[in-house]
Copies of this chain bind each other. A is one copy, B any other.
């Protein structure tokens, strides 16, 4: 069993688990731009550096792949929140929420991670995707509430602000030089 754990550098082929991880990581970029319906499995395969046929060895179908990408993004987002909460300078709700907001702003650098979750929201007419994105929001809201101890109203406001960030990221509002864009971007850190 120990020999099973051989590092990939000692092998010429990757293990399926490693490949799955690569596919999930690289598929974020392809799904972020054109969403579930607009992204082809060939694009996903190319981004991961494998054949399109092998995508179907790693995931049963496109929908399962997309759901796995949603969960991957959801986990990474909560990791970022956990890091931020651990490093927060105080433990009162305001300070913790501030730290989480900072972490969210840093996630925007990626762009793609947040956009995938927004794309998942837009593809929620598919039951399996709706379940996955609901579960993602459920964990996120519950985590923010528990770690910050903030009021329901403050948590709601935090989430709403996050959705505003997502939208501004999707339309690249930071490239627009106009009053409306400045109003919406006010106080939103973007590195």
Interface residues of A (CB under 8 A from B): 33-38, 118-119, 121-125, 130, 133-134, 137-138, 141-142, 145, 152-153, 155-156, 159-161, 163-164, 166-167, 170-173, 176, 178-184, 186-187
The interface residues of chain B lying within 8 Å CB-to-CB of A155 are: 183
Q: A134-B171, A163-B164, A186-B152 are in contact. Are A123 and B34 (CB under 8 A)?
A: yes
Q: How many copies of this chain does the complex contain?
A: 2
A172 & B130 in contact (Cβ 8 Å cutoff): yes
The interface residues of chain B lying within 8 Å CB-to-CB of A173 are: 134
A35 & B33 in contact (Cβ 8 Å cutoff): no
Shortest CB-to-CB span from A183 to chain B, Å, is 5
Q: How far is the CA of A46 from the CA of B140 in the complex (A)?
A: 40
The interface residues of chain B lying within 8 Å CB-to-CB of A167 are: 121, 163
State the 3 A-B residue pairs at the shortest beta-carbon distance, nearest first: A37-B38, A141-B180, A160-B164
Q: Select one of B121, B138, B141, B179 contacting A170, CB under 8 A.
A: B121
Q: Select one of B37, B153, B182 contacting A34, CB under 8 A.
A: B37
> Which residue on B lies nearest to A171, using beta carbons?
B124
Given contacts A133-B171, A155-B183, A163-B163, 8 further A-B contacts (CB under 8 A): A35-B35, A35-B37, A35-B122, A124-B172, A130-B171, A134-B173, A156-B183, A160-B161
18 contacts between A and B (CB under 8 A): A35-B35, A37-B37, A38-B123, A121-B170, A121-B171, A141-B184, A145-B183, A152-B183, A152-B186, A153-B186, A155-B183, A156-B164, A156-B187, A159-B184, A160-B163, A163-B163, A163-B166, A163-B167
- Counting chain B CB atoms within 10 Å of each CB, the highest count among A34, A122, A125 belongs to A122
Q: Select one of B156, B178, B187 contacting A138, CB under 8 A.
A: B178
Q: Select one of B124, B137, B180 contacting A142, CB under 8 A.
A: B180
